[in-house]
């Protein structure tokens, strides 16, 4: 039986054995929708030269309706949802990579995620590494830059903790289902992340944190961001895999230098030697992503959630965060996020008294 909704169809396609994101996208380009894939005549499927025998058999066997129903029930019970590739809520930067996941399972809020930077590194950092990651995440978040990481021990944990001290969102990309927090001692941290941003995974609920899942999830970490910063990582590590994904996706890669005698400095130092930006503080990162932030602002101006109201308010005389929040009927944290993005993009400037005014040329 053909799935009765688009979401069910996307999940069904995503669950097919032997069919990864790239093949699924080829099928979508061929048939225009996942519903059409399952509705296609058998001869049409068997005639596709880019599918092997196992893939053709999987499609012809049809959707696993019981599994799809179970997934949707689990998501509903935990307050999560499936965000499919054609959903307007699907993060645009991730949609643009070569092999975006057909379905993102999300618990929390991905709205206003951009601009975003990934901070990744070793699971066994030094005190210097922990402090560097936490401080960098806190300072970037305080200036309106969202922080993405993987909820792992070590640098990932510090990145999320630092981001939680700021105002922007933080997103944790899991190598397991949303209902299987790994490591288990980070469950409380995961709940804080949901409150300030979101947990996301391409793996359906119930998926265990198998070792092979983590390299695959790293392309999502880099794909959600404008840049990746590596803080302490050995040459053969998940953080370096994320850096390679970022380069393949056209994202800038940056690195925090470390002690030359520490094996965990080898990854960042190799990246710096190959041309990655050496990062000392948040201002280095912000200067590097400034062009991408300007592009984001341009897209925001054309969207239904345009920041033009704030620019208009601040064009005549300076306004405060409280005045913006009251005028737009939003809370002060949300007003601060929006103002920070505009300030980061150079559209408004902060003046005495912590008030804001539109820069010349933006009003």
Per-residue pLDDT of the chain (363 residues; tens, 9 = 90+): 444 568 999 999 999 988 999 999 999 999 999 999 999 999 999 999 999 999 999 999 999 999 999 999 999 999 999 999 999 999 999 999 999 999 999 999 998 898 999 999 999 999 999 999 999 999 999 888 999 999 999 999 999 999 999 989 999 999 999 999 999 999 999 999 999 999 999 999 999 999 999 999 999 999 999 999 999 999 999 999 999 999 999 999 999 999 999 999 999 999 999 999 999 999 999 988 887 666 655 555 544 445 568 888 887 788 888 888 888 888 887 788 788 778 777 778 888 777 888 876 544
Ramachandran sector of residue 81 (left: φ over 0; alpha: ψ -120 to 50; beta: rest): beta
Do 313 and 265 fall into the same domain? no
Co-location of 259 and 338 in the same domain: no
The H-or-E segment that residue 105 falls in is strand 103-108
Instruction: Report the distance separating Cα 112 and Cα 220, nearest Å.
Output: 17
Is beta strand 227-231 parallel, antiparallel or unpaired with respect to 253-256? parallel
Of the candidates 106, 114, 190, 117, the residue with the CA atom closest to the CA atom of residue 152: 190
Is residue 93 in a domain?
no
**How confident is the model at residue 293, as a pLDDT?**
67
Q: Are 212 and 251 within one domain?
A: yes
Looking at the structure, do residues 311 and 188 belong to the same domain, yes or no?
no
**Is 208 contained in some domain?**
yes
For residue 268, being part of any structural domain is answered with yes
Same domain assignment for residues 117 and 72: no
Judge whether 301 lies within some domain: no
| Residues 314 and 282 both lie in one domain | no
Question: Considering the domain boundaries, does residue 98 fall inside one?
Answer: no
| pLDDT for the residue 363 | 44
Number of helical H runs and strand E runs in the chain: 17, 11
- Residue 245 contacts residue 218 (beta carbons within 8 Å): yes
Q: CA–CA distance from 356 to each of 17, 144, 218, 316 (Å)?
A: 54, 15, 38, 11
Contacts of 238 (CB under 8 A, 6+ apart): 120, 150, 152, 214, 215, 218
108 in Cβ contact with 193 (< 8 Å) = yes
- In terms of domains, do 110 and 200 share one? yes
For position 118, which CATH number holds? 3.40.50.450
Which residues neighbour 321 within 8 Å (Cβ) at sequence distance 6 or greater?
Answer: 332, 335, 336, 339, 354, 356
What's the rounded Cα separation, in Å, for the pair 85 and 34?
A: 11
Instruction: Tell me which of 230, 257, 287 is where a domain ends.
Output: 287
Q: What is the CATH number of the domain that holds 24?
A: 1.10.150
Measured at the CA of 285, the angle between CA 279 and CA 289, to 5 degrees, comes to 145
- Cβ-contact 213, 240 below 8 angstroms: no
Q: Could you tell me if residue 86 is inside a domain?
A: no
Q: Are strands 197-201 and 81-84 parallel, antiparallel or unpaired?
A: unpaired
| Domain ranges, residue 339 | 307-358
Number of domains in the chain: 3
- List, for residues 218-272, the tens digit of each pLDDT value: 999 999 999 999 999 999 999 999 999 999 999 999 999 999 999 999 999 999 9
User: Residue 115, preceding bond cis, omega within 30 degrees?
Assistant: yes
Confirm whether 95 is domain-assigned: no
Nearest to 254 by CA among 100, 88, 140, 101: 140
Query: Is residue 292 situated within a structural domain?
Result: no
Residue 4, SS3?
coil
Both 263 and 311 in a single domain? Answer: no
Residues 277, 324, single domain; the answer is: no
Integer Cα distance of 107 and 235 in angstroms: 33
Cβ neighbours of residue 239 closer than 8 Å, sequence gap 6 or more: 120, 121, 122, 155, 230, 233, 267
Q: What is the CATH number of the domain that holds 317?
A: 1.10.10.10
Same domain, 188 and 270: yes
- Do 126 and 193 reside in the same domain of the chain? yes
């Amino acid at each position: 039986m053909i799935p009765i909704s688009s979401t069910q169809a996307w999940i069904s396609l995503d669950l097919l054995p032997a069919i990864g994101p790239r093949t699924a996208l080829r099928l979508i380009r061929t048939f225009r929708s996942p519903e059409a894939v399952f509705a296609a005549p058998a001869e049409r499927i068997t005639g596709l030269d880019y599918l092997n025998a196992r893939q053709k058999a999987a499609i012809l066997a049809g959707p696993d309706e019981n599994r799809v129903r179970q997934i949707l029930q689990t998501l509903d019970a935990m307050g999560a949802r499936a965000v499919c590739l054609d959903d307007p809520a699907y993060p645009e930067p991730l949609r643009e990579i070569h092999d975006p996941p057909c379905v993102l399972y999300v618990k929390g809020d991905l709205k206003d995620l951009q601009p975003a930077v990934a901070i990744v590194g070793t699971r066994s950092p030094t005190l210097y590494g922990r402090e560097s990651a936490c401080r960098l995440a806190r300072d970037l978040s305080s200036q309106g830059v969202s922080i993405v990481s993987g909820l792992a021990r070590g640098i990932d944990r510090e990145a999320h903790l630092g981001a939680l001290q700021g105002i922007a969102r933080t997103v944790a990309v899991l190598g397991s289902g949303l209902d299987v927090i790994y490591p288990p001692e980070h469950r409380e941290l995961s709940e804080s992340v949901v409150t300030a941003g979101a947990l996301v995974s391409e793996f359906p609920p119930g998926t265990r944190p198998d070792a092979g899942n983590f390299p695959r999830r790293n392309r999502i970490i880099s794909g959600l961001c404008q840049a990746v910063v590596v803080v302490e990582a050995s040459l053969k590590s998940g953080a370096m895999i994320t850096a390679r994904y970022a380069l393949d996706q056209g994202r800038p890669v940056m690195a925090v230098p470390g002690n030359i005698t520490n094996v965990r400095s080898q990854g960042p130092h190799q990246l710096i030697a190959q041309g990655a930006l050496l990062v000392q503080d948040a201002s280095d990162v912000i200067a590097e992503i400034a062009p991408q932030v300007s592009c984001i602002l341009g897209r925001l101006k054309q969207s239904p959630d345009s920041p033009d109201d704030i620019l208009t308010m601040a064009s005549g005389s300076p306004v405060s965060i409280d005045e913006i929040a009251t005028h737009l009927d939003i809370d002060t944290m949300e007003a601060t996020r929006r103002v920070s993005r505009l300030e980061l993009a150079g559209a408004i400037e902060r003046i005495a008294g912590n008030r804001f005014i539109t820069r010349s040329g933006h009003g």
